Structure 1
Amino acid sequence: MNCGLYIMGGFLSGNASPPMSTGILDIIAVAAVATGILIWLVRKLVKMNQRIAGFQHIFNHTNDALMLIDIVDGKIIYANHGSVKLLGYTLENLCQKTIFDLHERDQLARSSEIIARVYEEKGLIYSDLPFVSAAGEKIAVECSARVEDFEGKPVIFISARDIRERLKMQEQIKAQSTIIEQKNKDLIDSITYAKNIQSAILPSLTAMQKAFKDMFVLYIPKDIVSGDFYWYASLHTTNSTDLAAANTPMDIVASVDCTGHGVPGAFMSLVGYTLLNQTVNMPDVNTPADVIDFMHRELVNTLNKKKDEIVINDGMDMSVCAIDQVNNKLIFAGANHELFHVRNGKLEIINGDKQAIGIQSIENYKPYTNHSLDLQKGDTIYLFTDGFQDQFGGEKNKKYRGAKLREFLMAIQHKSMPEQKELLKQEFDSWKGINEQVDDVLIIGIRL
């Protein structure tokens, strides 16, 4: 007791402490280590409980089938109610099975391969391995699998979604797509055949080249069929006019741009071509202006026979040239079109009337105007629709414009007309680039 007091007195009085035995120090050290381990285990346990709680939250708040799989033997460690609903097993039954039991027997190799790949890649999404339900039904699923840490060991966490309805919809869409593709093919085939008909009614280039030794026709439809067309006829005037005597031989050339392009434009072109052919046999039609006047009247009458039932506001723009190669005369009339006349390095623009064919009513329309030119050997004329100059392209993706077309034509005047056609085609393609063609293209060039 006194020793105890002495020791206590020594501590209290600040006197030197008696030496402590080595055994006591070892006990203290072991206790400190044990305390550290205990704290680490507690923290680990807390984290594990938090992770388990996280898994439980996910498992209990999703409609997808979720399972934890032992990475060693494929045993199902845990499953949620979504798995029960999808597969038809009880939770107890599921937890007595392996992931391999949920696949068809002939898919065991594929199932093992999936497990191995998930482990190697730490994650995988696949949809080529269906489940088999308790009733033996094959169930198409999309699975997302990844490696997770659960209770201190790696497991595979699989989330499986029933995709039977999705696949059914995909099959329906595929079937509808097949039907649409076939209908589209039938439609394209029909339009392609219509192109053959449209091409057949266009004038013979051989006949045009016989009349004009140096000429070209650049014709680039936007679609399979076109709303632009050209027309040619060789005839004699019936009656005498102030522009030409009766029985004067004339070569008539026209460029026509119908409203729209593609199928609607092609239908209009057939109407226009038919009406132009009728002008040949009309004794009162003797000049280009007469041709356009006739076209206007007949188009209005043709398209408005049922004006109380159907309203048609379509029409066409047109250039018509009558060329008298005996007397070196040219007569031009235009409906919203112009004519380029090149002589001795200078280009002259001859404007037509600012009035479309067939759109204005008979009461509001004004007769079209003839323009007469004296021709010289080497003169060049161009008739065209607006598709070339309206094409978007170039560095700034702008319209080509009429001024640029005139500049280009002047730059290639030294070339023959067939060469000019090729150069114009190259210029158009280069300008258009990757852009879609906006309209049908038609340019007729004739060197006299």
Structure 2
Amino acid sequence: MTTKPPTTATESTTPAPHMAGNFAPVKDELTAYDLPVTGTIPPELSGWFLRNGPNPRDAASPHWFFGDGMVHGLRLEGGRAVSYRNRWVRTSTFTDGAPAVDARGRRDLTAGAANTHIVRHAGRTLALVESSFPYEIDCRPGHELETIGVHDFDGRLTTQMTAHPKTCPTTGELHFFGYGSPTPPYVTYHRADASGELVISRPIDVPGRTMMHDFHLTEGHVIFMDLPLVHDPNRPLPYSWDPEYGARLGVLRRDDPHGEVRWLPIDPCYVFHALNAHDDGDHRIVLYVSRYADFGDRTPPCLWRWTIDLAAGTVSEEQLDDQFCEFPRVDDRLTGQPARFGHAIAAEGPGSGQIPGALLRYDLRTGAVVRHDFAAGRTPGEAVFAPADDRPGGPGWLITYVYDATTDTSDLVVLDAEDISADPVATVHLPQRVPYGFHGNWLPDSVG
């Protein structure tokens, strides 16, 4: 009989950073009703706040990005926190152990974690991960957060789908792309109309397998980011920083979706998340991003503005703030249009150390920044804007899950978006911890 050498105390008790603290998964799917509230929930808020994130069922995952998707939902109605529930997304990987690549090397786009985002378009609620097809989630009363099944746009989608699609508020179209194919074309641009029918799919020519997590949409253009985080199968996250690859922005006219993509160079950097973009006259496009100067060293991301001058063929680059800035969002009704305000968080990531938790409100017109600093040990997730009325860019609230390390509990916090430095409007006390996750949305009952 052979025996293993004894493990050290450190080896046996110290989990990987992405499996420790509030990055660790929860074990139970719960449903709870009539949750306790401190403060007053605005009666205008009637709908679901949903947020997706990795929650490995077997409590093991090689990287934070790869855990099984779990959606946490809070139902608000009539000034009450009506219910909370959390459910794993029942992908084929979750239910049957389906591998993303079979023994013959063939990619199964129905297999994946569906763990990154959750969006609504054309009456469907979709859980997304950029490596696979989306999965539809049921939000009907009595079926909340049950998995309906894979959604491939009636067989028309044949590539992966980004976790960051953009809905045009003018046309209702859903713009997105897929990347990750082992052979060219490495990127494909897609467009679905307001009814949910996939009407455009076309290749985008890039020279290598880069990690293209997000992109930009304006009223007249789609802008792709070809950045130097390049496929490397020898890493837990199979990409590595390679500034020699270069960095560039690709501009495609929306009225000529099969036309030329015009590529313009920028300084090497990486961007996980775009805040917003808009056209500025006939020849200028303004983009706001959370920018990493050097992803190899994981320098903290900050808010930058890129201005594309199509007449000159140049991009000017300007840092707007030096505070940690991630998970940026705007009022989604202003996607692709000039938006005065944007919001972001300052919070920790796996292995990054403790960053004091805060929400930031950027005035993109004046440059002013207002902070909401949470108490020690309290860390917010992505903050989503929920409007108070039908005026885009008008009043509303920021909604986010907040983890409290001192009590190992989580709350849903509602802030007045026009006065975020003030105390929360409402704090809903949840029946279990909500692990750190990625993205979500406020899905109001009335859709206008």
Based on CA coordinates, which of the two structures has the bigger radius of gyration? 1
Q: Same fold (TM over 0.5)?
A: no
Could you say which structure has the higher strand fraction?
2
Higher relative contact order (CA 8 A, sep 6+): 2
> Taking structure 1 as the reference length, what is the TM-score of the superposition?
0.24
> Taking structure 2 as the reference length, what is the TM-score of the superposition?
0.24
